[in-house]
Amino acid sequence: MVARLTDGLREESLAALPAWSYEPGRDAITRRFLFTDFTEAFAFMTRVALIAEKADHHPEWSNVWNRVDILLTTHDAGGLSTRDLQLAAAIDALVKA
């Protein structure tokens, strides 16, 4: 059973994920991704889906044409956990320039 991050640990951990925004209302982190077109956006979503399935940790996300909005939180922990941090880092690695 993964535990929800304490406030201090969360702040410290999010400093390493500067592209993500903290959503206090959900105790979650979010990031917006913009791609050239739908095909690029969906290819990205496919890669994230495979990573998520392998991690058994899944995003809440939406896609509008070339835009993908991702929210990460851990339902089992009732908020942000290390699983979200790990998935966010893996997703960032997909789009690193």
Residues that bind ligand HBI (CB under 6 A): 56-58, 74-76
In this structure, what token pair is assigned to residue 29?
Answer: 């982190």
E strand intervals along the chain: 21-23, 28-34, 60-64, 67-72
Give 30 or 74: the residue with its C-beta nearer to ligand HBI: 74
* Residue bearing tokens 């997909």: 94
Least separation in angstroms between residue 29's CB and ligand HBI is 11
**C-beta separation of 34 from 66 below 8 A:** yes
Least separation in angstroms between residue 36's CB and ligand HBI is 28
Least separation in angstroms between residue 76's CB and ligand HBI is 3
Give 65 or 76: the residue with its C-beta nearer to ligand HBI: 76
Give 63 or 79: the residue with its C-beta nearer to ligand HBI: 79
Task: For residue 16, report the phi and psi dihedrals to the nearest 5 degrees.
Answer: -85, -5
